[in-house]
Amino acid sequence: MKTFKNVCAQGDVQFFKRDKLPAGLKQDPAINNVIVVTHSETGHNHVMEIDRKDDPAVEMFTGDNPLISWIKVNRPTSLDHQKSYDVHESIMFDEGVYEVRRQREYTPNGFRRAQD
């Protein structure tokens, strides 16, 4: 499985390793034992398994910007793409804090998240 040190991308989501979480974030709950890092309107989400509810391998946080989230990886965890074809290969994350940026595209009214 692919690994990285500072910056990686899986499809339309990019990750930047940071020193710490910013203040004022809200934690997002895991659903069915996974955090959905990026929702896809066709169900091909990018997800990470929390492994154990009481001691999660990864936690997700959001602030005001819907295009940016944060994850705190407590144990090495893979980022997986829930698709059975044209799948983006899984990437292994080491412990640490990562800024998550979702790709956007231009519209005459401003911009919107790139939808897949």
Partner 1 sequence: MGKIESLTEEQEAKLPEYAAKWIAIGKDVSALNKEAIKIHMIGYLSGHKLNDYFWCGSPMSIMIVALLLNHDSFVDMPDGCTPKKPIDKVAMRNAIFDEDNNQKISWKELDALALEHYTIHQLNWYVEEDINKCNFGQQDAAWLSFYHVMKSLLGVKLDPRIDDMFALAEHSNWIKATGNIAFCSEKPVYITATDDLGRAHCETGPYILYPDGWSTYCWHGTQIPRYFIENKEQLTPGVALTLPNMEQRRAACEILGWDKILTELNARVINEDGDPEIGKLLEVDLPDLGTERFLQVQCGTGRTFALPVPPEMETALQAQSWTWGMDEVNFFKPEVRT
Cβ burial of 49 (10 Å; 0-12, 13-18, 19+) is: middle
Is residue 31 at the binding interface for partner 1, with CB under 8 A as the rule?
A: no
Contact in structure between 16 and 6 (CB atoms under 8 Å) = yes
Which stretch in 18-26, 27-35, 50-58, 62-70 sits in contact with partner 1 by CB under 8 A? 62-70
The answer to whether residues 79 and 48 touch, using CB atoms and an 8 Å cutoff, is yes
User: Is 109 an interacting residue with respect to partner 1 (CB under 8 A)?
Assistant: no
Integer CA distances (angstroms), 99 to 4, 15, 82, 113, in order: 14, 6, 21, 16
The footprint of partner 1 on this chain (CB under 8 A) covers a number of residues equal to 36
89 interacts with partner 1 by CB under 8 A: yes
> Which amino acid type is present at position 19?
D
Q: State the nearest-atom distance from the C-beta of 86 to partner 1, in Å.
A: 5
- Choice from 11, 30, 37, 73 touching partner 1 (CB under 8 A): 11
CB atoms within 10 A of CB 69: 22
27 interacts with partner 1 by CB under 8 A: no
Tell me which residues touch partner 1 (CB under 8 A): 2-12, 14, 16, 41-42, 65, 67-68, 81, 84-91, 101, 103-107, 114-116
